[in-house]
Structure 1
């Protein structure tokens, strides 16, 4: 089974670097960036998973991005995990159709466990509960 890329969008450079390094060290192929330009071409080359900060610089939020992806049949199957220090992140994730959420500050093992559960469920075609 060929692995797909995990796309990480996080506007805090330090957090982005830490997440990308941890995922790479765990054996994932990672594409990472600080803004929504990372989404260009997502329909043609969908990632295996999108990790997105809920509060990005600019006019789009992570939950806006997630909602739009989930409404588009070409991208609806891309698993999305929201990351944020926002209160009520669980409710926000549910409203936009995210497959999961991780609250900041997070433990790296928590992040890796959520990624593994979501990513590999998608890769083997199982629905998350």
Structure 2
């Protein structure tokens, strides 16, 4: 059985490295992107999960999530927002995200939320 693919989008290279490392070690295939362009091909090769920073250059993660969740072709892709934003729980709920992770994050919490989101 092939490993589930997770797409991680964050403009902080250190966050990308940390998430890619822990998710790879947990057995997931990880693709990364530093900006909104990483979602352009999501319909052609949908990941099992999208982890996306709420504040990206050019577009917010919650706007991207809202668009994905309102498109029949991508609405089933689980999305977890990641941010240091206050009231991230409310933002995630409003845009239809499946969950959220507050920065700074606990690595065990990240893995727990990823595992519970990818069914």
**Once superposed, which parts of structure 1, at least 4 consecutive aligned residues long, lie more than 6 Å away?**
none
Q: 1:127 — aligned with what?
A: none
CA deviations on 1:89-126 (whole Å, 9 max, x unpaired) are 0000000000000000111000010001001x2xxxxx
Q: Is the 8 A contact 2:3 2:27 kept in 1?
A: no
What is the distance in 2 between the residues matched to 1:38 and 1:4? 18
Gaps of 5+ in 1: 122-129
> TM-score, normalised on structure 2?
0.96
Q: Structure 2: any 5+ residue segments left out of the alignment?
A: none
Q: Number of aligned pairs?
A: 119
Structure 1 residue aligned with 2:48 = 48
Distance 2:53 2:91 in 1: 12
Mapping of 1:80-95 within 5 angstroms? 80-95=79-94
CA distance in 1, matches of 2:24, 2:4: 13
**Aligned residue number for residue 110 of structure 1:** 109
Q: 1:21 corresponds to which residue?
A: 21
- Normalization by structure 1: what TM-score? 0.89
Q: CA RMSD in A?
A: 0.9
